[in-house]
Amino acid sequence: MKKEPIITIPTYWTRKGGVKKVGDTYFDHPTALDGEQTLTRLLDSLKEVWGKFKVVILTGIVDYSDNKLYEQVEKKVDSLIKPYKKHFPIMQFAKSDVKFLKERMKKSNMLIDMLPQINLACYPTIRNCQLMVTNGLGSDVMIGLDDDEVVMRDHVKKATEFIGKEYKGQKIYGIGGYYKDKKGDHIMRDLKKPPIDNIFYRKRWIKNEGFIAVDRMKGRVQKSNFVFGGNMVMHRKMFMNVAYDLGITRGENMDYLINAKMHDLHFYFDKELYIIHMPPEKWDKKIKAFLRTGAFSMTNYYRLEQDMLRFIYEREKIRECNDHHPELKKVSIDELKPYPGDFFEEKVVKDAVYALKFMYPEETKKLRINAEVQVNRALERARKLAPNYFLFNQKWIKLMKFIGEDKEFKKHLESGWL
């Protein structure tokens, strides 16, 4: 019997009042424990979706070590999702489930050195848990959504239409689609090209150009050089062989596409597969302010810093793959242009220094940032970390085989359906 696809939905939470503390994990817009959440809005839209599917909610908080906060959030999420069990099978995958998996690994003496790398503490580890849960439940297809979206009635039908099947002579193991706003737009039509010729100032404009290029292509499905976690479909062939990279702190889904390319597994873009992205209103206001400037105004310095770390690291990882791993496929930077390929050119170093100095002058001064030192540290970090991913992914393949065969873990997961 064909197994239903698993819809996995990460949900990110923080303390009452959105109180921040030093050391918190960065999430774009975590929901305050006493704040207005968006998760049930998505689940309401899923009530209308055609076809059979199961839903897993993966819960992350800004401080994974805060057990009291986690218990409060876990209880809150359970109360939110419980009413939906009459519409589709649904469960929460939480810290206790991660603990159970680790106990199974210990008992089998399986990859003990990986235990610290399995958690719900940050973007890439949460994304890896989405893949592990799908595998553990025995499904061949994972449909990834985010909790600030709504979907159309035919979303599952479209998401599974091509996955795992042959299309124009190629098997499709990964597919993604558009993010549309409340007006139905996926392109920022008011966006102006920034006057400064710096890729960090031009990031959103470059991404926009990528979307415009896709629109111009003929046909519904095209091989893609970008994908977004909130509208992402993966086949077992892909998630069993490719892990998210723990060296990435944001932009983990675009990075996953690069990792997949190394294994000769490619994402395709379906122009008819889309979600409606409806972030919280405060976040929406920041986006509107951003549109007026064409740069990064009204967003924070931290995101710029993380982008700098990410692109420098990814460039080094591509070099590591191409120069030292003949068993993998070489990754072409040109094939990744305009986004993210433009960020893997030599100018990323010079542009990063300039952006760190001048994009946020007040914060640069306040934090006493030395841009050259920051970028040099990023370069050192990249050289040090890049080889690690290849070792991690070898272990990932063994871990996923173990999870797929472990009857006790599957039994534990199946007991979680509400």
Query: For 69-78, 98-107, 225-234, which range has the lowest pLDDT when averaged over its residues?
Result: 225-234
Is it the case that residue 248 has pLDDT exceeding 50?
Answer: yes
CB of 350 within 8 A of CB of 368? no
As its CATH architecture, domain 6-294+388-412 has Alpha-Beta Complex (3.90)
Is it the case that residue 33 has pLDDT exceeding 70?
Answer: yes
Q: List, for residues 100-136, the tens digit of each pLDDT value.
A: 999 999 999 999 999 999 999 999 999 999 999 999 9
Which residue blocks in 108-245 are alpha helix, DSSP H?
Answer: 123-136, 155-159, 203-216, 236-239
Give the Cα separation of 87 and 166 in Å (integer). 32
pLDDT for res 187: 61
Exposed e or buried b for every residue in 314-330, given b needs 16+ CB within 10 A? bbbbbbbbbeeeeebbe
pLDDT for res 281: 64
pLDDT for res 215: 80
Q: What is the mean pLDDT of residues 49-53?
A: 97
pLDDT for res 293: 39
Give the Cα separation of 26 and 195 in Å (integer). 30
Q: Is the pTM of this model over 0.75?
A: yes
Name every residue whose Cβ is closer than 8 Å to that of residue 72 and which is 6 or more positions away in sequence: 33
pLDDT for res 186: 65
Q: What is the mean pLDDT of residues 32-55?
A: 96
Q: List, for residues 149-160, the tens digit of each pLDDT value.
A: 999 999 999 999
Q: Is pLDDT larger for residue 281 or for residue 173?
A: 173
Q: Is pLDDT larger for residue 285 or for residue 194?
A: 194
